[in-house]
Each structure stands twice: as structure tokens, then as C-alpha cells.
Structure 1
Amino acid sequence: MILWCLLFLGFVLFGFSLRKPPIYHWLFTFLLTSYCSTFIGVIVVEKGMLEYPIRLLADYFESSILYEYLLFPVLCVYFHQTTYNASYKIWFLQAFCYNTFFTIIEVILEHYTNLVQYHTWTWLYTFISTFMLMIIIRTIVQFLPRKNTYS
């Protein structure tokens, strides 16, 4: 039930994230985050550091496609939107806040549900990896043109 609620929430938040321009920035952020988080997620799961005992499409994926393809990318889109005209200092502060919230949610899910299980993985690895990925992706997207020249 939690997974279905998170799936619905992810789709709703994704829809709202595309309501203001530049939409190509938001889509690029979403797709790049999905692409990068897939590599990290597959490596972490295949190395046995982390496990998702209950997941969507469990017959086809060992990692959490809900997290890697929807929830984390949507979080990165909102992070990009809230830092669109901000300084680098604000980027780091907001990335810290977003990741603190997201990591707390993951720790609660790990402790009270069977959705995620840490083996050699810890909440600190989650925090550092998502923080770094958010900053790297935000830096890459910063170099896209501000005006939509792709119309």
C-alpha cells in the first residue's frame, strides 16, 4: 500500500513540476537523474549492500524503480526549480535540506517496513551519494541555455 501511495504521489508531483518554464530544464534534470541513479542503484543492490524485499515489478528489477526512476528524479527537479536563480551557497544549503528529509524518510522505511533493508549500506551513504548526485546534476544543467532555443 505504501508503494502505491508513493507511486501516486510521485506522478502527481511530477505533473506539478512541469507547470512552469523552462520545461526542457526540468525534463533534462528528471531524465539525467534517472539515468545516473540507475547505475548507482544497480551497483549497490548487486553488491548486496542494500536490498528491496518488496518492490514494484519485482520479477523484472532487483532495485527500486520507484525510487530510481520517479521519486528521486522528481526531488531533483524540485531542487533545480528552487535553486534556478540561486547562488552556489544556496544550492548546497538546499541540497542538504532536501537530502536530510529524504534520508530520514528512508531510515524510517528501513526501520519500520520491509521496503528497504540495509546490509553494508548506511543512511550516511544514502545522504552523501544523493547529495553529490544532486549537486553534480544541478551543475551540469546549469550550462543549458536559459532561453528555450529548441522550439
Structure 2
Amino acid sequence: MISTEYIIMVVFSLINLLILIFVIDWRYFRDWVVVLLFKGLLDFVWGSPVVSLKLIEYPVRLLPRYYDTCIYFELWIFPVLCVWYNQVTRKRGLWGIVLYAVIFSAAMTAVEYPLELYTDLIKYKDWTWFTTFYTLIITFLMSRSFIAFFRWGCDYFDRKPKKI
């Protein structure tokens, strides 16, 4: 029998796929692929120690024989939401970037906390919903800083020397 947790993961995967297909503006393909890869790496590097330090536990997860962390969230859900966040903040100033980081983080925390209470997808050990909230804000802002740096670097190094 399929568990509630796997049904939730399938539903969130489908929602994520719909976001990728219908919400993301793929004219900025290069930027979004960079964000996906950066976020996947950042979350995997940051999430693994959190699990190793026993701050969070993922009783139901993909590939449990190989990973203690939730690769489903760290390599699929959060990176896609981060692409969406970066798209929304693409033309916004500093306060808009921070405000949307707070909004996206609040929405994600509002989903995660009931999942922690009522499912085996995540269990807080030495962690709280507030820790989730502010670490999400930090990682959204890190991804926004990284893509700004990436765009600057592309513009700076793409300049061709003028022919004399």
C-alpha cells in the first residue's frame, strides 16, 4: 500500500512540474539552470550536516539506503521554488528582494510545519519552525546574490575588445 507521505511527495512533484512548465519564464534559461544547480548544491551541502548533527530527521525519503537527507526537497522542490523566487525578484530592488524572500519562506514554512506535525516526511529534533523560516530566507537571498553575481560576470567577461 502506498503511504500518505509518498502521495504528498507525488502531489508536490506535480505542482513543481506545473510551476516549471507554466510559471517559469524560460527566456532566461541560462539563469534558471544556474539557480537550479546552485540551489541544489547549496541545499545538499547545507542540508547534509543538519541531518548529520541530528537537528532534523527524514523518516520517509527517497533512496534511504544512500542518503540520510531529503534529496527530494533539496534537489527538486526547493531549487524550483528558488527559480520562481528569482524570476519574481528579477527586476526588483533590495526591499522587494527581501520582502519576497520573507513571503516565499513564510509560505514554505507554513507548509512544512504541518508536515512535521502530522507526517513522517520530516521530524524536528533540535530544530523549530522559526529555524526553518530564517534559514529559508538566508538561502533565498544567497541564491539571489549568486545569480546577480553570475549575471554581472557574464556581462563583464562577454565584452569583446574593440577592433582598431
Q: Same fold (TM over 0.5)?
A: yes
Q: Rg bigger for which structure?
A: 2
Structure 2 distance, partners of 1:145, 1:36, is 18
Residues 90-126 of structure 1: per-residue CA shift (max 9 Å, x gap)? 0000100000000111101001111110000111111
- Please tell me whether residue 36 in structure 1 is matched to residue 39 in structure 2: no
5 Å matches for 1:43-82? 43-82=49-88
Shift of 1:17: 5.2
Q: Contact 1:3–1:56 (CA<8 Å) still a contact in 2?
A: no
Point out where structure 2 has 5 or more consecutive residues left out of the alignment: 1-6, 159-164
Structure 1 residues 15 and 61, CA, compared in 2 at 3 Å: closer, same or farther? farther
Q: Contact 2:24–2:87 (CA<8 Å) still a contact in 1?
A: no
User: Residue type of the partner of 2:134?
Assistant: I
Structure 1 residues 77 and 57, CA, compared in 2 at 3 Å: closer, same or farther? same
SS of match in other structure, 1:22 = helix
Q: Which has the higher helix share?
A: 2
User: Residue type of the partner of 1:109?
Assistant: L
Shift of 1:2: 1.0
Structure 1 residues 118 and 145, CA, compared in 2 at 3 Å: closer, same or farther? closer
SS of match in other structure, 1:144 = helix
Q: Contact 1:17–1:77 (CA<8 Å) still a contact in 2?
A: no
Q: Contact 2:62–2:71 (CA<8 Å) still a contact in 1?
A: yes
SS of match in other structure, 1:84 = coil
Aligned residues: 149
Q: Where does residue 86 of structure 1 map in the other structure?
A: 92
Match of 2:125 among 109, 119, 122: 119
Q: TM-score, normalised to structure 2's length?
A: 0.84
Q: Where does residue 5 of structure 1 map in the other structure?
A: 11
CA RMSD of aligned residues (A): 1.8
Point out where structure 1 has 5 or more consecutive residues left out of the alignment: none
Shift of 1:39: 1.1
Structure 2 distance, partners of 1:46, 1:54, is 16
User: Residue type of the partner of 2:16?
Assistant: G
